[in-house]
A and B are shown apart, each in its own frame.
Chain A
């Protein structure tokens, strides 16, 4: 099956620093990747859609200057949380579609971000 990896799996950082999270599709090429945020006991909230070679599309209320997304290749998308604050602490999960126009999204294992 399609495998998506994330790195790191968890990260602790100080307030004001920036953190980069990588999302890779390991056995398929993904023209579109997605970034979600999940708070405890809640559903996944879509933050942005990342298209290879173009700018990401952000959901309403998501600060594009704070959550920088880069989709430099067909197998890699990165999310950088800039000037992180404690309220950015959350579980960040990426997903990837396995083909153009496909409906199925495969999710990564998630990254737990804790901002002190």
Chain B
């Protein structure tokens, strides 16, 4: 019940395309859902986050869509660029709880 399931495991997108990564959770106590971007050999960097009372949040080319009833959320990267090539992790947490990570998605944006 503490798991966050992330898909796909890897993703190849052409430059300018839309990258979509999906996550699903079971624990309805989760109340904060961040996305992290990690480059090889570096620590994860907070990209964007959402709370379940919001259905969508956009920051630049990055958008989180949140479906509370389905217990699913997704990251959309518009106009994907080669510099976006990295591993993306969704995560979930509730107050007093631990940050639970998805399995990660390795994104490769081809020029």
A contacts, CB < 8 Å to B: 4, 6, 34, 41-44, 46, 49, 91, 93, 95, 101, 103-110, 112
B42 touches A109 (CB 8 A): yes
Name 15 interchain pairs, CB-CB below 8 A, sorted by A: A43-B101, A43-B103, A46-B99, A91-B41, A93-B43, A103-B32, A103-B49, A104-B32, A104-B46, A105-B46, A105-B99, A107-B43, A107-B46, A110-B41, A110-B43
A112 touches B41 (CB 8 A): yes
B104 touches A43 (CB 8 A): yes
Q: Using CB atoms, name the residue of chain A closest to B98.
A: A46
B21 CB to nearest A CB, Å: 13
A40 CB to nearest B CB, Å: 10
B contacts, CB < 8 Å to A: 31-32, 34, 36, 41-46, 49, 89, 93, 95, 98-99, 101-104, 106
Q: Using CB atoms, name the residue of chain A closest to B99.
A: A105
Chain B CB within 10 Å, residue with most, of A43, A46, A93, A108: A43
CA distance A6 to B44 in the complex (A): 13
Nearest 9 Cβ contacts at the A-B interface? A103-B32, A107-B43, A110-B43, A43-B101, A109-B43, A107-B44, A93-B43, A108-B43, A43-B104
Write out the residue numbers on chain A whose beta carbons fall within 8 Å of the beta carbon of B36: 107
Name the contact of A34 in the complex, choosing from B45, B99, B103, B106 (C-beta under 8 A): B99
